[in-house]
Chain A
Amino acid sequence: MNAPVLLSPAESEALLLSLRVSAVAVICAFPFAFAAALLVARRAFPGRGLFDGILHLPLALPPVVVGYLLLVVFGTREPLGAWLEAHLGIRFAFSWTGAALASGLITFPFQYRAIRLSLEAQEPGLLQAAETLGAGSMDRFLSITVPLALPGIIAGLITAFAASLGEFGAIITFVSNIPGETRTLPLAIYSALQQPGGEAEAARLSAVSIGLALAGVAIAGFADRRLSAALRA
C-alpha cells in the first residue's frame, strides 16, 4: 500500500481499519444475503412480501437507530451480549468486530437485493433441463444457479463494500469512536473536524474516501458489464 506514505500513522490506521471492517462485514453478511435471496426468489411462502420488506429495513432506518438496537441486543450488560462474551468469548461492544457487524447489517440489503434480482432473472426451465440431464439438486445449484447469479453476487459485494466504507451513524452509536479499534475513515474525518486545525487532515481523508468510492463504482460497473455480457442467453 503506497497511500499511507502521504498519510499520518493515525490516518493510515483509519484507512486500513475501514478496509478491514468493510471486508469482514461484507464477507460475513454474504451467506445470509444469498440464503435470504434464494428463499425469497425461489420459494412461495405466506408473508414473503413482508419478509422482503423487513430485509430492506436497514436501508430505511436511520443508522443511529440500527446502532442503538445493536447496543440493546449485544451490549456487554445485555443478556445476549453477556452470554456471548462469557461462553464464546465474542464481544461486539467497543470492538472493531462490532463495527463490522453494524456495517454488515446496514449494507445487507445491497447484497440481498442484487442477488435476489439475479436469481429472479434466471430462466427456471434451465434447472428442469439440468435435472433431466441427470444433475442432482446440489449439482444444479453449483453448476447452474451460482454461476448465473455471479453478476448479481459481484455487484452486490462491491456495492455493499463501498457503502460499508461510508458507514458512520451505526458504528459510532454501537461501538463508539476508539482510535485504532473502531475509528474508521468517516469517524476519523468527523474527529478531525472536531479539533482546531484538523481541516487538512479531514480533507486528506475525504480525498481518500472519494477515491475509494470512485474505484468501487468503476469496478462494479466493469464487473457487471463483463459478466452480464458473458452470461447473456
Chain B
Amino acid sequence: MTIEVSLRHRFDEFLLDASFRAGEGVTALFGPSGSGKTTIVNALAGLLRPDHGRIVVDGETLLDTNAGIFVSARHRRTGYVFQDGRLFPHLTVRQNLLFGARRAGERPSLSRLDEVVALLGLQSLEARKPRNLSGGEKSRVALARALLAGPRLLLLDEPLAALDAKRKSEIIPYLERLRDSVRLPMIYVTHSAEEMSRLAENLIVLHNGKIAASGSLFDLSSDPALGSLVPTHGAVFPATVQEHRTDGLTALAFDGGVILVPQLGRPLMSKLRVRLAADDIILAREAPITISANNVLSVQVAAGHTETEAHADVRLRCGGVNLVARITRASFHRLCLTEGEGIYAIVKSVAVDPQTGPLMNGTE
C-alpha cells in the first residue's frame, strides 16, 4: 500500500506546498507548530478541501482538484486519531469502538474486536464511559476505534500531545506494538523528537509549509543539517540482541560493531532500535584506556558538519551507520578534526526501543 500526496493550500498569509509518498509503516510529519502538519492530515482525511492537490491511496484517487474528484471524509476509510481523542461522551468504550466498525459496511467481526482490544489493553474498560477514563486510556480507545473502522491509512495527529511525560511513556509501547503488527501506512504528526525517533520509519520534516527534508529516519536522524530543525536530535539505527553477558550487560550488534547496554529483558536475536543522542557522545583523538563508559566506538569523521554560535554537530561514520555528536565549537576547533580521520566516540548513554515483534516486559 502506498499513498501519494501533492497539496497546495493558502490560508491568509500561510502557504502549504508539499508533495510526498509514503508506504507501510510510520511516516512522521515532523515540524514546529504552524508548519502545516495538521493541514496535511486534514486534507488526507477529507476534512479540508485544499485549493490544489492530488491524493492517491492504494491506487484510488481520493482527491484530484484538476479532475474535480473529491471523495468525502465519510467514504475515505482513513482512521483518524485526533489530538484530543474525540471519544463520543454519551457512548461506552465498547460502543465507541464499534461506531466505525458498524459503519464500515461489513458486520463487525468479534475476533477483530477482541484482537484490537487485546493489542491496546482495553479488556477491562469496555463498559466504561469516556469520562471515567484516564488521558492515556482515552488515547488508546481513540486508537482502537480508528483501527476498527477498517482503515486503509491511519492518521495520528499528535495523539500524545495532551498527555504528561509519564502517560506518554505508557502509550508509546502500544504504538510501537501497533506499528509492528498492523501493516498500514501510518502518518504520525508530532513535534516531539522522542516520539519521532522511537516510532517513525520515515520522516518528513516540515518548515513553514514546505518540506525541508524527507527520507528514512535512520538516514535523516544523524544528518547535522537537521540539527537546526530537530532540537534534541541524534542517531537512530537498528540492532539485534547478540548476547546476555554474565557481567550484567547485554551486547547489541549493529552495522558497525557492538554496543553494550545494561541487561535487557529481550530474547536473543530480537530486533531493536538504538538511539544515541548527539549530546551523549564525547569525541577523543586517542583511545581512552581507563574510563567508566562501556562504549568506545572507533569512528571516522564524515563530511558535512554544522556549526552554530556555541556548538558544532559532527557527523561520524561507524561501519555502515551514521552518528552525530554535538560538541562545543571551541572543542571542535581545538581537536582540529578533518574529514576522513579516525577518532573515538565515547557514548555516555544509549536508549533502546523495540523495533519489531511483540512487546516483552517493559520497554527498556
Contact = CB atoms under 8 A, between A and B. Distances in A.
Contacts of B80: 129, 132
B17 to A, nearest CB: 24
A147 B74 CA distance: 21
Contact of B90 (A133, A139, A231): A231
Given A134-B100, A148-B89, 18 more contacts: A126-B86, A128-B47, A128-B73, A128-B86, A129-B80, A130-B99, A132-B73, A132-B79, A132-B146, A133-B99, A133-B103, A133-B146, A133-B149, A134-B75, A134-B103, A135-B99, A143-B99, A230-B90
Contacts, number: 66
Interface of B: 45-47, 72-80, 82, 84, 86-90, 99-100, 103-105, 129-131, 145-146, 149
Interface in A142-161: 143-144, 147-148
Contacts of B73: 128, 131-132
Given A123-B86, A144-B88, A148-B89, A132 B131 contact: no
A133 B46 CA distance: 12
19 contacts: A125-B82, A125-B86, A126-B88, A128-B73, A128-B86, A129-B80, A131-B72, A132-B45, A132-B73, A133-B100, A133-B103, A133-B149, A134-B77, A134-B103, A134-B104, A134-B105, A144-B88, A233-B87, A233-B89
B271 to A, nearest CB: 33
A144 B73 CA distance: 17
Interface of A: 123, 125-126, 128-136, 139, 143-144, 147-148, 230-233
A126 B47 CA distance: 12
Most B CB within 10 A of own CB, among A125, A129, A131, A231 = A129
A144 B88 CA distance: 8
Nearest to A144: B88
Given A139-B103, A233-B131, A131 B90 contact: no
Contacts of A126: 86, 88
A134 B74 contact: yes
B49 to A, nearest CB: 13
Contacts of B104: 134
Contacts of B130: 233
B89 A131 contact: no
Contacts of B47: 128, 131-132
Contact of B74 (A136, A143, A144): A136
Nearest to B148: A133
B76 A132 contact: yes
A135 B86 contact: no
Nearest to B76: A132
Contacts of B74: 131-132, 134-136
Contacts of A130: 88, 99
Nearest to B72: A131
Nearest to B155: A132
Contacts of B145: 133
Nearest to B105: A134
Nearest to A127: B86
- Listed from nearest, the 6 A-B pairs whose CB atoms lie closest are A133-B100, A134-B103, A129-B86, A233-B89, A132-B80, A131-B73
B149 A134 contact: yes
A230 B149 CA distance: 26
Contacts of A148: 89-90
Contact of A231 (B78, B86, B89, B105): B89
Contacts of A144: 88
Most A CB within 10 A of own CB, among B45, B74, B145 = B74
A228 to B, nearest CB: 11
Nearest to A131: B73
B140 to A, nearest CB: 16
A132 B81 CA distance: 10
Nearest to A122: B89
A136 B105 CA distance: 13
A230 B131 CA distance: 9
A148 B88 CA distance: 9
A232 B131 CA distance: 7
A230 B87 CA distance: 14
Nearest to A126: B86
B59 to A, nearest CB: 20
B84 A125 contact: yes
Contacts of B77: 134
Contacts of B76: 132
A140 to B, nearest CB: 9
Contacts of B100: 132-134
A204 to B, nearest CB: 43
A232 B100 CA distance: 22
A143 B104 CA distance: 16
Nearest to B42: A128
Nearest to B151: A132
A143 to B, nearest CB: 8
Contact of B103 (A135, A230, A232, A233): A135
Nearest to B131: A232
